[in-house]
């Protein structure tokens, strides 16, 4: 009989909690990194029911888990069970990565960091002195807005269907980081004016995600300009209708695959302290995009 040596008595445990978790590709990503680096670590998915979050966290702590990711719908609720949340996670209002050090839990948000890294790698640009428009005002928008503000953007416009939610994020930025954020509801003329002024436009909504692949968060009457960088947090499909339309104006267009990838890489680095070298990282990213293509 074949003896499987992948999991040993000394193997360290990591994983992801959320509901659902069946669709998550984080196990493949993290286990591939451990395999590549030869680290004795395993990453497993845990589906947690709504009223079981506290029990689940206690259990993971009791089992001496090295660290875990947190996904929908617990990124906010998890914060009250964490001993120390990072400053950035508090501003973002969400934790997606937890590290266990001797029974003390530390909370981080690597979505924001993952977004910034992916954006810089793929566009060759940063956010300093840039005018940026965010479409949507949910968790992804807040993480991205906080990061961009911390990195010195000149102006952040938050455009959202429910204006009060855009106001809320603008308030967080203006009161805690810098007075650079403005909110706006959905209004074709006003939105077009905003997009015209921006260097970077980011869709943080799920509009255009599979299976609604023909939808776009922006009216087809609005024009974009070739110097603009357009980012869509969606990675399925890899080229959304929004990116397709903006590509026709000659804009540089980037999908959310890199954000997903780098939030995982940062989590891995937080748990293990290992910095993954550039070359294998690129190789891993290529393989990772291929999994999602299937």
Binding site for ligand ATR (CB under 6 A): 136-141, 160-162, 165, 204-207
> Residue 42 CB: number of other CB atoms within 10 A?
18
Does the active-site annotation cover 165?
no
**Which residue is catalytic, options 75, 99, 130, 147?**
75
| Alpha-carbon dihedral 154, 94, 138, 282, rounded to 10 degrees | 70
Nearer to ligand ATR, 67 or 93 (CB): 93
- Contact of 95 with 79, CB cutoff 8 Å: yes
- Tokens standing for 213? 């692949």
Please give the Cα distance from 96 to 44 (Å, whole number). Answer: 15
For 244, counting Cβ atoms within 10 Å of its Cβ (0-12 exposed, 13-18 middle, 19+ buried), the class is middle
- Tokens standing for 181? 């954020």
Nearer to ligand ATR, 141 or 194 (CB): 141
Considering only CA atoms, which of 101, 102, 64, 98 is closest in space to residue 81? 98
| Minimum CB–partner distance for residue 164 and ligand ATR (Å) | 8
Please give the Cα distance from 144 to 231 (Å, whole number). Answer: 11
Output the residue with the shortest Cβ distance to ligand ATR: 138
Nearer to ligand ATR, 61 or 165 (CB): 165
Nearer to ligand ATR, 65 or 267 (CB): 267
- Contact of 2 with 32, CB cutoff 8 Å: no
Apex 88 CA angle, 58 and 218, nearest 5:
110
Q: What is the DSSP string of 192-209?
A: HHHHHH-SEEEE-S-TT-
| Minimum CB–partner distance for residue 137 and ligand ATR (Å) | 4
- Write out the H or E segment, with its range, that includes residue 12: strand 12-18
| Minimum CB–partner distance for residue 258 and ligand ATR (Å) | 16
Q: Is 16 helix (H, G, I), strand (E, B) or coil?
A: strand
| Minimum CB–partner distance for residue 206 and ligand ATR (Å) | 5
| Minimum CB–partner distance for residue 11 and ligand ATR (Å) | 32
Nearer to ligand ATR, 26 or 205 (CB): 205
What are the catalytic residues?
75
């Amino acid at each position: 009989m074949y003896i499987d040596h992948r999991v040993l008595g000394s193997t360290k445990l990591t994983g992801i909690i959320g509901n659902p978790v069946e669709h998550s590709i984080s196990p493949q990503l993290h286990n591939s990194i451990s395999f590549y680096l030869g680290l004795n670590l395993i990453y497993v998915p845990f589906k947690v029911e709504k009223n079981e979050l506290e029990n689940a966290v206690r259990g993971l702590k009791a089992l001496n888990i090295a660290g875990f990711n947190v996904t929908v719908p617990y990124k906010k609720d998890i914060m009250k069970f964490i001993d120390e949340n990072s400053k950035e996670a508090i501003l973002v209002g969400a934790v997606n990565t937890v590290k266990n050090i001797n029974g003390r839990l530390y909370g981080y948000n690597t979505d924001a960091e993952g977004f910034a890294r992916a954006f810089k790698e793929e566009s060759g640009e940063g956010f300093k002195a840039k005018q940026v428009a965010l479409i949507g005002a949910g968790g992804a928008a807040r993480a991205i807005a906080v990061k961009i503000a911390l990195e010195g953007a000149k102006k952040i416009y938050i455009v959202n269907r429910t204006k009060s939610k855009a106001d809320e994020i603008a308030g967080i930025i203006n009161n805690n980081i810098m007075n650079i954020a403005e909110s706006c509801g959905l209004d074709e003329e006003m939105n077009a004016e905003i997009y015209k002024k921006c260097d970077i436009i980011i869709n943080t909504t799920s509009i255009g995600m599979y299976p609604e692949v023909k939808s776009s968060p922006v009216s087809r009457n609005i024009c974009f300009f070739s110097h603009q960088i357009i980012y869509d947090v969606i990675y399925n499909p890899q080229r959304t209708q929004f990116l397709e339309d903006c590509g026709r104006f000659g804009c540089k267009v980037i999908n959310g695959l890199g954000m997903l990838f780098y939030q995982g890489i940062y989590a891995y680095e937080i748990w293990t302290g290992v910095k993954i070298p550039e070359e294998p990282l690129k190789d891993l990213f290529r393989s990772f995009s291929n999994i999602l293509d299937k």
